[in-house]
Amino acid sequence: MTKFSLLDLVPVVEGGTVATALVNAADLAQHCEKLGFTRYWVAEHHGMRGIASAATSVVIAHIAAATQSIRVGSGGIMLPNHAPLVIAEQFGTLDALYPGRIDLGLGRAPGSDQRVATAIRRTLDSDPNAFPRDVMELQSYFADDGQTGIVATPGAGADVRLYILGSSLYGAQVAAALGLPFAFVSHFAPDMLDEALHIYRSHFKPSAVLEAPYAMAAFNIIAAPTDSEAAYLATSMQQSFVSLRSGNPRQMPPPAEGYYESLPLQFQGMLDHVLSCSAIGEPESVKTAVTAFVDRTKADEIIVACSIFDHEMRKRSLEFAAEILTSH
């Protein structure tokens, strides 16, 4: 059976609040735990009115406290935004509180625009070689091997699993060189999926933490009893993407009947492209699409993304997803 997990942006819906989004995240994590999801990841985004997971390590603590056994972590922490020592301390603290359950997925994208980058004291013209160096520095703090001359407290000796996230070939190369698991964010950046997985597997070097490649791929699933209902629910995700690509990110809007058909052709084409790694429909059609994606990628684990306005409808969609993925 292919493992499956959830990536949650902790959405703030129109008319909702950050507080409600965080309550819903805890409830959704409990739901995923009961359904057999392997892990529950949240992502670092800044300056986004519709995403409540900017303080990622704090949100992870909230989710871990609400659950018992599911792994919880970041998908991901944008490491160039942070000093590796601070991340080691934060995730070392999380491991001390919730031992053996904490994942640290690492990316190098800004997770923001230039104004936000300036506000968090980040420069976007940094050395491209800094990311793998920062990852190795982070590994050194957790290993407590003395290479940095600093003992991360908390952090030293922590059992935190590292993952490299990517939307390009670069992340695949870094993950392969360091012998770490690799997660491709194909749910919104599908272009280089196949080539990245090939590079990762063919260049993988075994490490102390991983003997063989472990590839993960993200996939949107919006499932409902009928194709028409699923298509209707998916319009919230479509509206969010159009708003983001138009430079006007917003809180997640409610679904809108006929939204996709009302769009200019260029926006329809954009959605068809960026959301090509998706299954939207009734369970049998979703199962067909999921099976094709797993066969195509040979992924060891599918990271499910599920952007739905209504919390209960989102939980129902994940029930369908779990049933499909458990039987695969």
Q: How many CB atoms lie within 10 A of CB 23?
A: 14
Tokens of 50: 């519709």
Tell me if the bond preceding 76 is cis, omega within 30° of 0: yes
In whole angstroms, how large is the CA radius of gyration of the chain? Answer: 19
* Residue 305 pLDDT grade (very low, low, confident, very high; cuts 50, 70, 90): very high
* Residue 327 pLDDT grade (very low, low, confident, very high; cuts 50, 70, 90): confident
Tell me if the bond preceding 154 is cis, omega within 30° of 0: yes
- Cβ distance 205 to 180 under 8 Å? no
- Alpha-helical (H) ranges within the chain are 18-35, 56-66, 84-97, 114-119, 130-143, 169-178, 193-203, 227-245, 259-262, 265-274, 283-297, 311-326
Q: In this prediction, what percent of the chain has a pLDDT beyond 70? A: 97
pTM recorded for the entire structure:
0.96
- Mean of the pLDDT values across residues 78-94? 95
Per-residue model confidence as pLDDT tens digits over 127-179: 657 899 999 999 999 999 999 999 999 999 999 999 999 999 999 999 999 99
Q: Which residue has the tokens 């407290």?
A: 153
Rounded CA-CA distance 19/23 in Å is: 6
What letter represents residue 276's amino acid?
Answer: S
Per-residue model confidence as pLDDT tens digits over 209-250: 999 999 999 999 999 999 999 999 999 999 999 999 888 899
Tokens of 320: 């369908």
Q: How many CB atoms lie within 10 A of CB 178?
A: 19
pLDDT of residue 113: 72
Q: How many CB atoms lie within 10 A of CB 211?
A: 10
What letter represents residue 164's amino acid?
Answer: I
Cα-Cα-Cα-Cα dihedral sign, residues 82, 84, 86, 88: positive
* pLDDT above 70 (res 200): yes
pLDDT of residue 314: 98
Per-residue model confidence as pLDDT tens digits over 99-128: 999 999 999 986 567 777 778 766 655 565
CA–CA–CA angle 320, 323, 327 (5° rounding): 145
Domain boundaries, the chain: 3-326
Just give the CATH number of 3-326.
3.20.20.30
Higher pLDDT, 129 or 189: 189
Residue 121 burial by Cβ neighbours in a 10 Å radius (0-12, 13-18, 19+)? exposed
Q: In this prediction, what percent of the chain has a pLDDT beyond 90? A: 90
- Mean of the pLDDT values across residues 286-303? 98
* Phi, psi at 78, each rounded to 5°: -85, 95
What letter represents residue 185's amino acid?
Answer: V
* pLDDT above 70 (res 191): yes
Per-residue model confidence as pLDDT tens digits over 241-277: 999 988 889 999 999 999 999 999 999 999 999 999 9
